[in-house]
Amino acid sequence: MQDLDIDSTTKAVLEQMALTTDPRLREIMEAAVRHVHDFAREVKLTPEEWLKGIGFLTAVGQMCTPYRQEFILLSDVLGLSRLVNLMHDSQGRDEAATETSLLGPFFREKAPEIALGGSIISAMKGEEIVIFGQVTDPAGHGVAGAEIDVWQTDAEGQYDLQANDPSVMDMRGRLRCDAEGRFHFRTEKPVGYSIPMDGPVGALVRQQSRHGFRPAHIHVLVAAPGHRELITALYFGDDPHIDSDTVFGVSASLVITQSAGLEGNPLPNLPGIRYDFTLSPASDGAGGRVGSDPSKLMPTG
């Protein structure tokens, strides 16, 4: 019988997992065990602290519903989502292509189709703006018929999913670019918003003296055959939290500023913001969706 000690326990666990059939699962779980054990040894985790951690993770899991994904939120506020996003971006994204951002937990398939120039907001409460631009390849050629999904909060900082009613689809839409890859749509200027602070992740963020806010942004997913799916977001540079996003999603190249009457605005009576998206060529291992519709992550049965 092996008498385990503080160091040999790790080896014993790795040995017991050594027959894992899937080599990638084995690699991931071996690294996970090593890092979790190193963490516990480094901080000299006590039984009481371990139990608190178990209670915290249990509460995170129990907070998940088809409309809310508290584990993604935890990953977000610990910077893990952004890290995974950056690693994906470093593999196969063309240098000239638009940087990516987090998909987040509010993307939904099959948003309402919107004609070019249409509005994604059913009842405008905030400032109406027009977002316009062109989808191109790295050489600058327009991508005809590229499909764009956009989604955002309402003027109170809430996504439709937060209504917890699957029949509500609002502040989101799908549009198809024209033959030159050009697009424009109307929306209301989103506001910065707090992550949900009424769950265990919010409690942690509060204990960390963090404000819990994300700067105002519009999520964008661009897809076209032959091109790598682009998941990104446009961040409003005038938001007070543009430099301190609680989920670390902002990149300088994704910051937009509003300029009324900007050249090329197809609806010049509205304040317009131009942003052009550049797609990478399609590559293996694309699908950088760092986020998910929460209902897809609920265990079945």
**How far, in Å, CA of 213 to CA of 190, rounded?**
13
Residues between 11 and 70 that touch a copy of itself (CB under 8 A): 12-13, 16-17, 19-22, 24-29, 31-33, 35-51, 54-55, 57-64, 69
- Answer yes or no whether residue 111 interacts with a copy of itself by CB under 8 A: no
Site residue total, a copy of itself (CB under 8 A): 93
Cα separation of 248 and 85, whole Å? Answer: 11
CB of 41 to a copy of itself, least distance (A): 7
Short-list 116, 136, 291, 151, CA closest to 221: 151
Q: Does 238 sit near a copy of itself (CB under 8 A)?
A: no
Minimum gap (Å) between residue 54 Cβ and a copy of itself: 5
Q: What SS3 class is residue 65?
A: strand
Position 194 contacts a copy of itself (CB under 8 A): no
- Looking at 66, 81, 151, 219, which residue binds a copy of itself (CB under 8 A)? 81
Q: Does 240 bind a copy of itself (CB under 8 A)?
A: no
Show contacts with a copy of itself in window 279-298 (CB under 8 A). Answer: 285, 287-290, 292, 297-298
CB of 110 to a copy of itself, least distance (A): 19
Query: Looking at this protein, which amino acid is placed at residue 65?
Result: T
Identify residue 68 by its one-letter amino acid code. R
CB of 218 to a copy of itself, least distance (A): 18
Least separation in angstroms between CB 86 and a copy of itself: 5
203 near a copy of itself (CB under 8 A)? no
Q: Which residue from 23, 123, 252, 263 is in contact with a copy of itself, where contact means CB under 8 A?
A: 252
| Residue 133 binds a copy of itself (CB under 8 A) | no
CB distance 199 to 59 below 8 Å = yes
Q: Which residue has the tokens 């950088």?
A: 288
Handedness of CA 202, 204, 206, 208 (dihedral sign): negative
Q: Is 256 one of the binding residues for a copy of itself (CB under 8 A)? A: no
Give the residue with the Cβ less far from a copy of itself, 85 or 265: 85
Amino acid at 147: E
Nearest approach in angstroms of CB 293 to a copy of itself is 11
Q: What is the dihedral of CA 254, 257, 263, 267, to 10 degrees?
A: 100
Q: Do residues 240 and 214 make contact, with C-beta atoms less than 8 angstroms apart?
A: no
Residue among 190 and 215 whose Cβ is closer to a copy of itself? 215
| Closest approach of a copy of itself to the CB of residue 111, in Å | 20
To the nearest 10°, report the CA torsion of 296, 192, 258, 109.
10
Cβ nearer to a copy of itself, comparing 80 with 116? 80
- The correct pick among 66, 80, 169, 258 for binding a copy of itself (CB under 8 A) is 80
Residue by residue, what is the 3-state secondary structure of 172-207?
Answer: EEEEECCCCCEEEEEEECCCCEECCCCCHHHHHHHH
Is the separation of the CB atoms in 117 and 132 below 8 Å? no
Is 101 a binder of a copy of itself (CB under 8 A)?
A: no
Strands 147-151 and 128-136: unpaired
